[in-house]
Amino acid sequence: MRSFAYVVPDSVAGAVDALAAAEPGTKILAGGTTLYDLMKLGVEAPPAVIDIHRLAELTEISTGEGELSFGAGAKMAEVADHPVVRRDYPALSESLWRAASQQLRNMATVGGNLLQRTRCGYFRGGAEFGCNKRDPGSGCAALEGLDRTHALLGASDACIATYPGDWAVALIAFDAELDVVGPRGERTLPLGDLHVEPGDNPVLEHTLAADELILRIRVPATPAGRGSTYHKIRDRESYAFALTSAAAAVTLDAQGTVTDCRIGLGGVATRPWRATAAERSLLGEQLTMGTARHAGEVAFADARPVRTGAFRVELGIRTVTDALLTAGKQAAR
Amino acid sequence: MKTPDLGRVDAHEKVTGTASYGADRVPDDLAYAMFAVATIGKGRTVSIDTAAAEAVPGVRLVLTRFDEDELRGPGFLMGGGFAFQSLQPLLSDVVAYRGQPIALIVADTLVAATEAADLVRARYEIEPFAVGIDDEGATSVLQEEALPWFPDVKVGDAETAYAASPVQIDETYLHPAQHQVPMELISSVVQWKGDRLVVHESTQNAGALRHGVAAQLNLDPADVDVISPYIGGGFGSRNALQPHIGPLALAARRLRRPVKLVIPRRQTFHTGSFRPVSRHRIRLGADPSGRLLAALHDADHQTSRHDLYPAMYTEITSRLYAVPNFGGRQRLVQTDVQTPGFMRAPNEGPASFAFESAVDVLAYATGQDPVELRLANDTATDPVTGLPFSSRHLAQCLTRGAERFGWQKRDPRPGSMRAADGSLVGLGVAVGAHPVLVAPAVARMSAGADGRVTVGVDGHEMGQGIRSAIALLVAQDLGVPVQDVVVRVGDTRVAPQHLTAGAWGTATALPAVHKALRELRKRLGAGDTGTVEVAAAVRATGHGSPEVEVTSVGPGQPPEMLDRSRAGLFSAAGPVFPDFTAFSWAAHFVEVRIEATTRRIRVPRALCVADCGRVASPVTAASQVRGGVIWGISEALRESSEVDPRFGGFLNTTLEEYPVAVNADIAEIDFDFIDEPDLLLSEVGVKGLGELTMIGVAAAVANAVFHATGQRQNRLPIRIEDVM
Ligand SMILES: Cc1cc2nc3c(=O)[nH]c(=O)nc-3n(C[C@H](O)[C@H](O)[C@H](O)COP(=O)(O)OP(=O)(O)OC[C@H]3O[C@@H](n4cnc5c(N)ncnc54)[C@H](O)[C@@H]3O)c2cc1C
Ligand code: SF4
């Protein structure tokens, strides 16, 4: 633990000003469940933190016509338990319920959640482990190490760390957008453009500028929401990150033909992963065990198995299959 | 007589937070300590730079090395000493394992101590190391040669009998390293009161702490008090002197301030003991009906370079059945880790996983029902010594359990049973046994004019409910309300406080309390039985508060064992006593369901039927069963301490990464007790329970997984990839 400045702005505008004026490396603090954790581990050492968790402006949840909107400061538990979200977008609600623990969900925000960092043991373990993400150029200990939960999709020779979150995986399936604000004003970007693959620079995880703040997450209304689920397979029944997960949403016409399909993959890729080719494979098809499985196979066609976690390719295919079939049942309800 | 169900006597304190655990104390002027730890797998520190640490405001002391005169080695618990390992950090430049403390920081605040610890920088000379039992550089010794006082069990001529057996089973099982991870972190508050050292620490072995730290610091043990009224989970991690106490006491003396250390979770994976890796080759020879003719159990058992932590796997595997020829052979594999040690059912857990899995293989090989096969091999005498078992109701555990569990509805063919949702269903059975050990005990009992009875006795309250069991015994015997009984345990000021572990705590304390009750009755002029009006009887004696002190030893134990116990040394005896052999027994039944597609393994129900002698406290006994079965499920399906051989040490060192079972993993746990007192053992008739309840669970799970899938599981934990 190093000393750091602790700034408490009383408005979003104040937070933006504080961020613009702050020393490089200054961080926004929301629930603190990622940031404080990484500070205690010595992975993050911001000179200052700007605490936004009391800003009521950021906690609004609205479920009006046309879209859902979640303030970045809304708590995971509140969004998970929101009656409209539960009814119309089960995948969104379930992705939050199946994350972390009740205590963490009560504290953590849906904005901070998007920017949580990998659970790679070498990244978190200490300076003695080579890690290009924590310490550029120091190598990647995971490549020849304990890689059972590392990424099958989107990895590079520099880093194979899995993006661990669940919520972003469900959001990406629904074409969510982010409103962000900075000294240059507000802008909107698709959630799909937030996270980046490690490439040769694993330090860079997202496209937000250092002086930008997430205001809210917006999800365009879609009937596919009702026919959705978030399926998460993990090493224990609760309080664990995904070995494989899938957000699936489908719309079926009266004949049971798939007219819309969304698939997000979690626990298997370096970023929240949208399986667009798999989605396309189902359009115009009946949703059966066979077509669902085929979609799963398409989703993992480019997977590069890790040494001790190769089973997660097949597990991922089955996870997608089951998620699609559950989504189909939801759609038919 | 059955024991009435009166709950836990300390429940109110515990749920209201008034129960004060070891490091809950905050004496005036308290300073806070933190360790900096080694970040290499093995080698030497060439230099340790503490300048930055010392410069942190509020830092009072940074210590990297003690003198051999001020801090002596503590000695290994299993080698006549007091500590979980012989190696005392901060005495030399040797780094024996990753995570070994290399500096102790003491500061005015926890924040300053933590920051300073992070700033300690060491330069090392790195040496090659081996952490896995098969890694290059791991060396091994035969236990019976290296530790002749822990011999392998050998009966008859097992090799020859095995070779001649018509049915032969030969299977090898691997058990991973696991850590105890109790909720309460390893921690202490040490304080000098003049020349007296007071140590507040949640420990299962206050006696060893007292004598160990006295020996290390050259103090008179009488000048050391160790106070441990409650423990937030021990599971073996708190059963000996920890290497932080000596340095902490010296720092407190230098600063003339009390010092507190709470070891952070990550460090606890290296600062204390753990369950070592073990490999078991089991060979069973039988006749075509499944009657056992021979059994061979070869074990490889991980230990450290600096200590030989003995294996005792064959102690139970030689006694589960009527095996006329048994051959045990245990090898100790020396690796570069802190010394492993006792973790709940330390030997019996892994041993029963291996042996009882092999017995299931035998049942299938001979076409026998797994329950029937076990019943057919039952024995009333100890095959190792020829002595009778003091009590063995294992057959009853099996038959009662089979009935209660609905075993007869099981279709024995693997993969034949399905649930409505398509999950594969498997039912498995296994038995467990735990040696009964009894230690000497001292009990002091006094009665007050207010009618209250105070009893101080050897024993530690680890959540297992020893305080409740003692209070119940006293209340029932004297006919007083249980709230009028004050129990003091875990306190060296009232009794020597021998190690409480191996499930002998209750069996050790209760006979002493029982004896003290007889003496107190005499002092109060009360009859040998019947209700006593305590307040009136005390007034009648004319003394303020009459007090008695008694001692007890285990059956056949010489009284000198008390002297050992008073010296803080291990002095438990058993399971072989002069006239009998004593074990507690259990049968476990488990149902697993394995999802048809993504293959998650679930345990919707488990049943444990236990023969633990008399049930001393029904509420806490029930909780012991639940806890044990949960531990068994977690052992079987979840827990593994991960090692990257390139770095040494353990990698998954948080509660998030080290996957203990969570509530959502646990469904119905049913249980039943035989509840027959073992009167050969003591008048109270109590055997042990705490460890027994997890022994056999892992094998029952693995056997159930086999029944569900047709795939044998010879390695724990059993995870999704093993049943894909
Ligand atoms: C033990 C444990 C288990 C967990 N299990 C799961 C799990 O199973 N699934 C899962 O999905 N997650 C899991 N998590 C992660 C948890 O969900 C995240 O830590 C949490 O959502 C982060 O939210 P927060 O508000 O606490 O963020 P903080 O820790 O406050 O911030 C996280 C990051 O986001 C930045 N940030 C926060 N808010 C904003 C904003 N408005 N604009 C710009 N930047 C911002 C911060 O600067 C920081 O870099 C787990 C966490 C823990 C500790
Ligand atoms: S996978 Fe990425 S985060 Fe993990 S050690 Fe390699 S570089 Fe670091």
In tens, the pLDDT along B255-283 reads: 999 999 999 999 999 999 999 999 999 99
| Nearest-CB residue to A235 (from B111, B114, B719) | B719
The DSSP line for B359-375 is: HHHHHHHTT--HHHHHH
Q: How far apart are the first and last CA of chain B?
A: 51
Instruction: Output the CA–CA distances (angstroms, integers) from residue A235 to A316, B176, B333, B417, B600, in the order listed.
Output: 14, 16, 30, 24, 8
Q: What does the pLDDT read at residue A316?
A: 98
Using CA atoms, how far apart are residues B117 and B113, in angstroms rounded to an integer?
Answer: 6
Element (H, E) at A216: strand A213-220
| Nearest-CB residue to A237 (from B111, B642, B665) | B665
CB contact under 8 A, B642 and A146: yes
Looking at the structure, tell me whether residues B535 and B648 fall in a common domain.
Answer: no
**Residue A309: inside a domain:** yes
Tokens describing residue B283: 């060979």
**Residue A64: inside a domain:** no
- Among B594, B633, B644, B711, the strongest candidate for a mutation testing the A interface, having the largest count of A CBs within 10 A, is B644
Return all residues near B41 (Cβ < 8 A) that are at least 6 apart: B97, B98, B126, B129, B131, B336, B647, B648, B649
**Residue B667: inside a domain:** yes
Looking at the structure, tell me whether residues B379 and B292 fall in a common domain.
Answer: yes
**Residue A68: inside a domain:** no
Looking at the structure, tell me whether residues B469 and B506 fall in a common domain.
Answer: yes
Tokens describing residue B669: 């746990």
Q: Determine contact: A333 vs chain B, CB below 8 A.
A: no
Q: What does the pLDDT read at residue A15?
A: 98
Give the pLDDT mean for B628-654: 97
Maximal CA-CA distance, chain B: 78
Which residue is closest to A147 within chain B, CA to CA? B644
Tokens describing residue B646: 């390139």
Using a CB-CB cut-off of 8 Å, the residues of chain B touching A239 are 656, 662, 664
Q: What does the pLDDT read at residue B195?
A: 95
Looking at the structure, tell me whether residues B671 and B534 fall in a common domain.
Answer: no
Last residue of a domain, one of A32, A52, A72: A52
* Residue A269 buriedness (CB in 10 A; 0-12 / 13-18 / 19+): buried
Using CA atoms, how far apart are residues B560 and B564, in angstroms rounded to an integer?
Answer: 7
Query: Which of A43, A60, A95, A116 best tests ligand 1's pocket when mutated (most atoms within 8 Å of CB)?
Result: A116
| Nearest-CB residue to B644 (from A145, A237, A321) | A145
> How far is ligand 1, taken at its centre, from the CA of residue A158, in Å?
24
Decide: A155 in ligand 2 pocket, CB within 6 A.
no
**Residue A18: inside a domain:** yes
Element (H, E) at B520: helix B505-523
Using a CB-CB cut-off of 8 Å, the residues of chain B touching A127 are 39
B145: left (phi over 0), alpha (psi -120 to 50) or beta: alpha
Query: Which of A8, A19, A34, A236 best tests ligand 1's pocket when mutated (most atoms within 8 Å of CB)?
Result: A34
Looking at the structure, tell me whether residues B447 and B595 fall in a common domain.
Answer: no
Chain A to chain B Cβ contacts (< 8 Å): 74
> How far is ligand 2, taken at its centre, from the CA of residue A203, in Å?
10
Decide: A275 in ligand 1 pocket, CB within 6 A.
no
Is B691 among the catalytic positions?
yes
Tokens describing residue B350: 């892994």
ipTM above 0.90, yes or no: yes
**Residue B141: inside a domain:** no
Using a CB-CB cut-off of 8 Å, the residues of chain A touching B723 are none
Phi, psi of B507 (to 5 degrees): -65, -20
Last residue of a domain, one of A14, A35, A52: A52
CATH of the domain at A43: 3.30.43.10
Decide: A118 in ligand 2 pocket, CB within 6 A.
yes
CATH of the domain at B387: 3.30.365.10
> How far is ligand 1, taken at its centre, from the CA of residue A34, in Å?
5
Cβ–Cβ < 8 Å for B219, B197 = yes
**Residue A176: inside a domain:** no
Q: What does the pLDDT read at residue A329?
A: 95
Using CA atoms, how far apart are residues B227 and B461, in angstroms rounded to an integer?
Answer: 12
Phi, psi of B297 (to 5 degrees): -130, 105
Looking at the structure, tell me whether residues B359 and B426 fall in a common domain.
Answer: yes
Cβ–Cβ < 8 Å for A333, A226 = yes
Using CA atoms, how far apart are residues A266 and B16, in angstroms rounded to an integer?
Answer: 41
CATH of the domain at A324: 3.30.390.50
Ligand nearest to the CA of A31: 1
Site of tokens 């057959």:
B395
Looking at the structure, tell me whether residues B422 and B541 fall in a common domain.
Answer: no
Q: What does the pLDDT read at residue B554?
A: 85
Using CA atoms, how far apart are residues B596 and B418, in angstroms rounded to an integer?
Answer: 9
Report the DSSP pairing between strands B424-435 and B417-418.
antiparallel
User: Which amino acid is located at B180 in the chain?
Assistant: Q
The DSSP line for A49-67 is: EEE-TT-GGG--EE--SSE
Element (H, E) at B143: helix B143-146
Using CA atoms, how far apart are residues B243 and B657, in angstroms rounded to an integer?
Answer: 26
Residues of chain A with pLDDT under 50: none
**Residue A14: inside a domain:** yes
Cβ–Cβ < 8 Å for A20, A7 = no
Whether the predicted pLDDT of B506 surpasses 90:
no
- Per-residue pLDDT tens for B125-140? 999 999 999 999 999 9
Decide: A272 in ligand 1 pocket, CB within 6 A.
no
Closest-CA residue to A233 (of A108, A145, A149): A149
Ligand nearest to the CA of A235: 1
CB contact under 8 A, A322 and B598: yes
Closest-CA residue to B383 (of B310, B327, B311, B312): B327
B714: left (phi over 0), alpha (psi -120 to 50) or beta: alpha
Q: How far apart are the first and last CA of chain A?
A: 52
Return all residues near B511 (Cβ < 8 A) that are at least 6 apart: B438, B441, B552, B682, B683, B684
**Residue B571: inside a domain:** no
CB contact under 8 A, B118 and A314: no
Residues in chain B: 724
Using CA atoms, how far apart are residues B662 and B336, in angstroms rounded to an integer?
Answer: 31
CB contact under 8 A, A236 and B721: no
Give the pLDDT mean for B45-58: 98
Tokens describing residue B168: 């032969």
Give the pLDDT mean for B24-51: 97
Looking at the structure, tell me whether residues B76 and B221 fall in a common domain.
Answer: yes
HSE (side-chain half, CA atoms, 13 Å) at B312: 18
Cβ–Cβ < 8 Å for B202, B238 = yes
Whether the predicted pLDDT of B92 surpasses 70:
yes
CB contact under 8 A, A145 and B665: no
- Among A98, A236, A244, A289, the strongest candidate for a mutation testing the B interface, having the largest count of B CBs within 10 A, is A236
Q: What does the pLDDT read at residue B507?
A: 81
For residue A333, how many other CB atoms are within 10 A of its CB? 6
Q: What does the pLDDT read at residue A105?
A: 98
Which residue is closest to A146 within chain B, CA to CA? B644
Q: Residue B246: give the domain boundaries.
A: 31-128+186-262
Cβ–Cβ < 8 Å for B495, B444 = yes
Instruction: Look at residue A85 and give its three-state secondary structure.
Output: helix
CB contact under 8 A, B724 and A314: yes
Return all residues near A57 (Cβ < 8 A) that are at least 6 apart: A11, A12, A71, A73
Q: What does the pLDDT read at residue B4?
A: 59
Element (H, E) at B102: strand B101-107
Looking at the structure, tell me whether residues B243 and B97 fall in a common domain.
Answer: yes
Q: What does the pLDDT read at residue B500?
A: 86
Q: What does the pLDDT read at residue B464?
A: 81
Return all residues near B241 (Cβ < 8 A) that are at least 6 apart: B74, B77, B82, B83, B84, B205, B208, B209, B212, B213
HSE (side-chain half, CA atoms, 13 Å) at B396: 14
Most confident of the ranges A241-245, B508-512, B677-681: A241-245
Cβ–Cβ < 8 Å for A264, A274 = yes
Instruction: Output the CA–CA distances (angstroms, integers) from residue A221 to A174, A257, B530, B573, in the order listed.
Output: 9, 21, 77, 72
User: Which amino acid is located at B704 in the chain?
Assistant: A
Closest-CA residue to B647 (of B180, B101, B99): B99
Closest-CA residue to B463 (of B352, B344, B636): B344
**Residue B21: inside a domain:** no
**Residue B708: inside a domain:** yes
Return all residues near A190 (Cβ < 8 A) that are at least 6 apart: A175, A176, A177, A178
Return all residues near B717 (Cβ < 8 A) that are at least 6 apart: B176, B635, B636, B637, B638, B639, B640
**Residue B551: inside a domain:** yes
**Residue A236: inside a domain:** yes
Looking at the structure, tell me whether residues B230 and B92 fall in a common domain.
Answer: yes
Give the pLDDT mean for B540-569: 90
Give B44's pLDDT tier (boundaries 50, 70, 90): very high
Whether the predicted pLDDT of B237 surpasses 50:
yes
Alpha carbon of A122: minimum distance to chain B alpha carbons (Å): 8
Q: What does the pLDDT read at residue B1?
A: 45
Instruction: Look at residue A233 and give its three-state secondary structure.
Output: strand
Q: Residue A253: give the domain boundaries.
A: 227-328
Last residue of a domain, one of B522, B538, B566: B566
- Among B37, B423, B633, B651, the strongest candidate for a mutation testing the A interface, having the largest count of A CBs within 10 A, is B651
**Residue B245: inside a domain:** yes
When divided into structural domains, chain A yields a total of 2
**Residue A212: inside a domain:** no
**Residue B26: inside a domain:** no
HSE (side-chain half, CA atoms, 13 Å) at B227: 15
Q: What does the pLDDT read at residue B3?
A: 56
- Per-residue pLDDT tens for B357-410? 999 999 999 999 999 999 999 999 999 999 999 999 999 999 999 999 999 999
Looking at the structure, tell me whether residues B431 and B470 fall in a common domain.
Answer: no
Whole-structure pTM value: 0.96
Whether the predicted pLDDT of B13 surpasses 70:
yes
When divided into structural domains, chain B yields a total of 3
Mean pLDDT (chain B) is 95
Report the DSSP pairing between strands A244-252 and A258-266.
antiparallel
Using CA atoms, how far apart are residues A210 and B623, in angstroms rounded to an integer?
Answer: 52
Looking at the structure, tell me whether residues B431 and B441 fall in a common domain.
Answer: no
User: Which amino acid is located at B508 in the chain?
Assistant: T
Last residue of a domain, one of B566, B588, B623: B566
